[in-house]
């Protein structure tokens, strides 16, 4: 219901077309007047009356059309197909916005209509079949007014044909057409127009919620294509490895002439992957240790002490590598921990002595070596390393100590058996990330002339405005996928921090799209959400439920902290009750009006005069506060439909389009046209493997 302010009445927007009877009456009167000359003569008054009747019939026909049109919109088919050319035109029309499809702005009026329609049988609102057919022909739009009875009849007919031994579908027959999925009428409550999401609002981070198969990936396909068209830098973290999303990105990159900026990573397709070094960007070696530390699983009440010890060991090793210009890598880190820090420690002490220009330090180390009675370390030259360690403590430390050597020396002198127990939870992670194909992908060797795959880093990709797709292959190995996602996210955050520190945020924007965000969220990602806007980052994170953040971050408070950084919310269909409540609460409240009709009659004359009676009739409206978008609606949204809360204060109801395009060659042709693959084949390297 809605309030008619002019008349002070409550009327139904999707009421019956009462004007139809008046239209028929006026049409009959007009026909009678116009047919009069067939059996009599035409008079001027009769002609004038006929004209009046035609006009009145036309006015009533227009009113009927308005009512039917309003009702037919409730049954428009969910799927909306948009050719790529039309999509590009809509993207270009609003350079400072992101195209989200078609829809309208949700206000308290739509809330009122939704509550009214929920209480009614929506199937009874369908216009007559002749109007549906006629309007579809003239408008080119598609509608589905199939009812429960129609669906039941189709099913019975199909069973009957099968029982008679007939083919289920014969020539001339059509497959049974089911009813619309979900509450398709929600989108039809208001006439749609193009929806745009201002990029300035998107800077405030956007959370996307939606259950499986509700349309999150379709949204990402649409976002990636227009971001690529705008010429911006793009990173996509895709745990599942959606082939269609990857294909969309490749096609868009080729269409915009940006294939040379395309970067692909997926451990399941190592032969075609770029080698992205997660240790390439850092200011201090401690940052590298902090990228690995979140991967260490907690183990009982002492989990924090294990992580702290592991971090200290990694920081010492990586600082030592940095000191003597050894390129840090996961593979090198694992090697030092497995073999022991002996040789690395020796090289660091020698390098430090050379920098301090200590005279005859090698002779002094030899003198210390002679004073050692017997070896105490299981090493092929234990006395040499022990002598160097003692020389550093007794001589060099007093001249000028070195923090990298100090940390490594503590690890060297630590009880080996105890150290191995403390590192027991770190080593499996390092082994998983440095075995098989992952060894070359995550720890690239620039000196390997037999590997044509390009080596890059997040810092380089940001500078080059790359289009980067990172598939984590979560279906194959979710644990490894989570580890890769976490360490790459930490590296990306470090690049964002460096960009912010050096004032590079104004050069161009960096879009980050994370699907299944729980596979990549960590403490570093929270920092990116909190401070990434200053570095020019625009973040989109998709998740199925709010509890996914709780599980990934370990507590409700940490999840609330993460969710508090999202200024925008786009919600597709959600089933989880806590997620429904979260989305509904973020949309706010509205006032819902209900009407009460009362009527009463009573006899005033008693039994002596039963004809003397009186009656009362009255209506009363009451306003009740209710959620602007009821949670039950969120659980019944059709695929590809969404509600959104934009930071500017707008609540939107929209529908994503499905992009259609003619294939310009196969996906394999797109891969073969990538510049680095063309160059590799020209040099005789074999690169292949379908994605």
pLDDT value, residue 223: 96
In the chain, how many domains are there? 3
pLDDT value, residue 310: 93
Domain final residue, candidates 405, 429, 453: 429
Tell me how far the alpha carbon of residue 392 is from its chain's centroid: 54
pLDDT value, residue 618: 75
pLDDT value, residue 375: 57
Asked whether residue 575 is assigned to any structural domain, the reply reads: no
Residue 261 CA to residue 673 CA, distance in Å, equals 12
- Count CB neighbours of 669 within 10 A: 12
Give the sign of the dihedral formed by CA 542, CA 548, CA 554, CA 555. Answer: positive
Task: Measure Cα distances from 21 to 27, 72, 138 in Å.
Answer: 10, 20, 24
* Max Cα-Cα span within the chain: 140
Q: Which two tokens stand for residue 452?
A: 């044509």
Asked whether residue 522 is assigned to any structural domain, the reply reads: no
For residue 450, give the 3-state DSSP assignment: coil
pLDDT value, residue 6: 42
Asked whether residue 188 is assigned to any structural domain, the reply reads: no
Asked whether residue 231 is assigned to any structural domain, the reply reads: no
**Contact status, residue 634 vs residue 643, Cβ threshold 8 Å:** yes
Nearest CA to 183 among 632, 657, 652, 651? Answer: 632
* Crossing angle between the packed helical segments 216-229 and 84-93, to the nearest 10 degrees: 60
**Contact status, residue 403 vs residue 311, Cβ threshold 8 Å:** no
pLDDT tens column, 148-203: 777 778 778 778 777 776 554 444 445 556 777 788 899 999 999 999 999 989 98
In terms of phi and psi (left: phi > 0; alpha: psi -120 to 50; beta: otherwise), the region of 174 is: beta
Asked whether residue 313 is assigned to any structural domain, the reply reads: yes
**Contact status, residue 628 vs residue 617, Cβ threshold 8 Å:** no
* pTM of the full structure: 0.86
DSSP assigned state of 477: -
For residue 278, give the 3-state DSSP assignment: coil
The beta strands (E) that lie in 249-347 are given as 262-265, 275-276
pLDDT value, residue 613: 67
Asked whether residue 27 is assigned to any structural domain, the reply reads: yes
Asked whether residue 180 is assigned to any structural domain, the reply reads: no
pLDDT value, residue 169: 47
For residue 202, give the 3-state DSSP assignment: helix
Please, which residues bridge with residue 143 across strands? 76
DSSP assigned state of 375: -
| Element of type H or E holding 211 | none
Domain final residue, candidates 75, 93, 125: 75
Domain final residue, candidates 429, 460, 492: 429
**Contact status, residue 114 vs residue 189, Cβ threshold 8 Å:** yes
pLDDT value, residue 550: 87
* Crossing angle between the packed helical segments 303-323 and 285-292, to the nearest 10 degrees: 140
Q: Which domain holds residue 48?
A: 2-75
Looking up tokens 């929209």 gives 654
Ranges of the chain with pLDDT below 50: 1-9, 168-173, 299-302, 377-380, 689-691
Looking up tokens 């590296």 gives 491
Asked whether residue 69 is assigned to any structural domain, the reply reads: yes
């Amino acid at each position: 219901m809605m309030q008619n302010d002019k008349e002070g009445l409550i009327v139904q927007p999707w009421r019956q077309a009462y004007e139809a009877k008046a239209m028929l009456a006026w049409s009959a009167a007009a026909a009678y007047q116009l047919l009069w000359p067939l059996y009599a003569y035409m008079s001027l008054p009769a002609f004038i009356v006929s004209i009046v009747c035609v006009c009145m019939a036309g006015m009533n026909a227009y009113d009927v059309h308005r009512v039917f049109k309003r009702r037919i919109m409730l049954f428009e088919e969910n799927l909306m197909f948009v050719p790529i050319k039309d999509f590009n035109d809509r993207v270009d029309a609003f350079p400072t916005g992101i195209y989200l499809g078609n829809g309208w702005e949700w206000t308290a009026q739509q809330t009122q209509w939704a509550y009214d329609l929920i209480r009614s049988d929506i199937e009874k609102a369908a216009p007559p079949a002749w109007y549906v057919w006629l309007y579809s022909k003239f408008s080119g739009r598609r509608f589905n007014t199939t009812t429960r009875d129609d669906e039941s009849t189709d099913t019975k007919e199909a069973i009957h044909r099968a029982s008679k031994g007939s083919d289920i579908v014969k020539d001339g027959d059509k497959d049974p057409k089911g009813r619309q999925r979900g509450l398709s009428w929600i989108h039809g409550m208001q006439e749609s127009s193009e929806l745009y999401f201002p990029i300035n609002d998107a800077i405030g981070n956007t959370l996307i919620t939606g259950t499986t198969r509700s349309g999150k990936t379709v949204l990402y396909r649409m976002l990636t294509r227009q971001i690529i068209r705008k010429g911006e830098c793009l990173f996509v973290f895709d745990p599942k490895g959606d082939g269609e999303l990857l294909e969309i990105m490749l096609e868009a990159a080729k269409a915009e002439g940006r294939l040379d900026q395309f970067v692909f990573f997926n451990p399941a397709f190592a032969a075609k992957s770029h080698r992205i070094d997660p240790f390439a960007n850092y200011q201090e070696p401690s940052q590298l240790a902090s990228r690995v530390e979140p991967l260490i699983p907690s183990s009982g009440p002492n989990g924090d002490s294990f992580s702290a010890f592991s971090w200290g060991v990694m920081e010492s090793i990586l600082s030592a590598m940095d000191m003597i210009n050894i390129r840090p890598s996961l593979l090198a880190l694992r090697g030092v921990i497995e073999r022991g820090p002996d040789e690395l420690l020796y090289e660091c002490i020698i390098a430090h002595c050379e920098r301090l220009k200590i005279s005859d330090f090698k002779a002094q180390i030899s003198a210390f070596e002679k004073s050692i009675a017997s070896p105490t370390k299981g090493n092929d030259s234990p006395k040499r390393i022990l002598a160097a360690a003692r020389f550093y403590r007794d001589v060099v430390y007093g001249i000028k100590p070195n923090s990298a050597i100090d940390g490594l020396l503590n690890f060297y002198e630590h009880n080996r058996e105890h150290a191995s127990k403390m590192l027991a939870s770190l080593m499996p992670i390092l082994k998983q990330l440095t075995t098989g194909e992952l060894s070359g992908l995550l720890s690239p060797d620039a000196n390997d002339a037999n590997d044509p795959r390009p080596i890059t880093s997040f810092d380089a990709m940001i500078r080059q405005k790359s289009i980067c797709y990172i598939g984590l292959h979560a279906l194959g190995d979710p644990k490894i996928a989570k580890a890769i996602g976490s360490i790459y996210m930490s590296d990306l955050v470090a690049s964002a921090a460096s960009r912010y520190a050096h004032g590079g945020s104004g050069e161009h924007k960096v879009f980050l799209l994370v699907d299944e965000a729980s596979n990549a969220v960590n403490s570093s990602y929270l920092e990116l959400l909190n401070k990434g806007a200053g570095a020019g980052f625009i973040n989109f994170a998709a998740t199925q439920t709010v509890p996914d953040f709780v599980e990934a971050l370990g507590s409700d408070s940490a999840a609330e902290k993460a969710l508090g950084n999202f200024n925008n919310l786009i919600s597709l269909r959600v089933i989880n009750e806590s997620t429904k409540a979260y989305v509904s609460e973020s949309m706010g409240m509205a006032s819902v009006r209900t009407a009460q009709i009362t009527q009463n009659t009573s006899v005033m004359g008693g039994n002596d005069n039963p004809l003397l009676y009186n009656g009362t009739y009255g209506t009363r409206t009451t306003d009740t506060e209710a959620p602007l978008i009821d949670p039950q609606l969120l659980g019944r949204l059709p695929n590809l439909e969404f509600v959104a809360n934009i930071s500017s204060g707008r609540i939107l109801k929209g529908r994503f389009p499905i992009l259609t395009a003619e294939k310009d060659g196969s996906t394999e042709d797109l891969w073969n046209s990538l510049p680095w693959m063309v160059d590799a084949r020209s040099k005789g390297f074999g690169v292949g493997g379908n994605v």
